[in-house]
Amino acid sequence: MQNKNVLLAVSGGIAAYKACALTSKLTQQGANVKVMMTKSAVEFVSPLTFQALSRNPVFTDTFDEKDAKKIAHIDLADWADILIIAPATANIIGKIANGIADDMITTTILATKANVYIAPAMNVNMYEHPAVMKNMQTLSDIGYFFIEPGAGYLACGWIGKGRLEEPSTIIEVINAHQNSPRPLLGKKVLISAGPTRESIDPVRFFTNRSSGKMGYKLAEAALEMGAEVTLVSGPVNLDVPSSSINRIDVVTAEEMYQAMTKEFPSHDIVIKAAAVADYRPIHTYDEKMKKQDGILQIEMERTKDILKTLGEMKTKQFLVGFAAETQNLKKYGLDKLKRKNLDAIVVNNVGQEGAGFEGDTNIATYFNKKLQEYEIPKATKKEVAKEILTLILRDMKDEKA
């Protein structure tokens, strides 16, 4: 916290008294603290208290411009390195989640680029209400970080989860998050995920069993490691992990080819985790094909080889492919690595328990172009994603050495 500009937003709950201790502890740790308060918060604690603890003016009114040369909420939004909402009531969470800006705190939060930490405090039934949970998920998806409330005896008399976390713990959590390694900071990562669909008629299409889960977890892990992420996604039943990820939706192999080749030149790391159709019907029908007697034959043609094209386009990019196999994993994986000019390939046996398309776990082997082999044992797809990205970073570092 030393020399960090910390903007503390205090909303109207009984836990506002703890925000006084939080202000004091932040100041003691060397932070420059400024406090904003809602009108409801002023009913619980006087602004003068926060002014004395922070040694800075307290902001309670959007229209109270203390310096005529500046717009207060924009100036505060730009000033802050870290913004903490503590306590965060159901009301303030709902406003921010829905883009409502009708007071000093909400207008400032919508304008800031600072890291935002939210420490909820409310009755246990309010905290568990579906609308509140939905709003918190929305903010989490945006990239706001939540500091979970504690469980215990609440001011309302109920016992349960909803008590504002202790100020010292809030600071510990923020310090840990701020200091977490972000080795992909400054890197642009392009990831493809999911299947493609190749139409036969308006009703039928060819596709595969890919769920997109591995590619989405790679995108989530890359974002957490500091990367700027673009995700080219086939049709899947998944939500993008964060609105900070640039998601490009495609359906066919041709659409994925166009999106990947367009985005490829501007990225540093490219991971093709999508299961793209190798063939598509030569003829498609505008109307539904009617059932007929006998054998139905559909003539197919090859789709464009996206990974091979990217390998030919490669200049500075670190290009990684995926190979879903059922036999001879090493042989087929290394052959693909060489033929398509890859820097690395991730191979897995989709017939192996715990490594299938639609599951939440994976088992894989990572090969780099030096033919070094690394086994990734069974783990969640998020953990496997982190391991893959770590191996990529190590290989990139070795290339520069």
Contact, 73 vs 64, CB < 8 A? no
- 192 burial (CB, 10 Å; 0-12 / 13-18 / 19+) is buried
391, two tokens: 């191996």
Contact, 267 vs 188, CB < 8 A? yes
**In sequence order, which residues have a C-beta less than 8 Å from that of residue 210 and are 6 or more positions away?**
194, 195, 234, 236, 274, 275, 357
227, two tokens: 């990367």
* Catalytic site residue from 110, 156, 289, 334: 156
Distance CA 106, CA 92 (A): 8
Contact, 391 vs 375, CB < 8 A? no
Residue 195 β-bridge partners: 275
Catalytic residue check, 156:
yes
Distance CA 59, CA 52 (A): 13
Q: What b-and-e string marks burial along 128-154, b requiring 16 or more CB atoms within 10 Å of the CB?
A: eeeebeebbebbebeebbbbebeeeeb
Supply the residues annotated as catalytic. 156
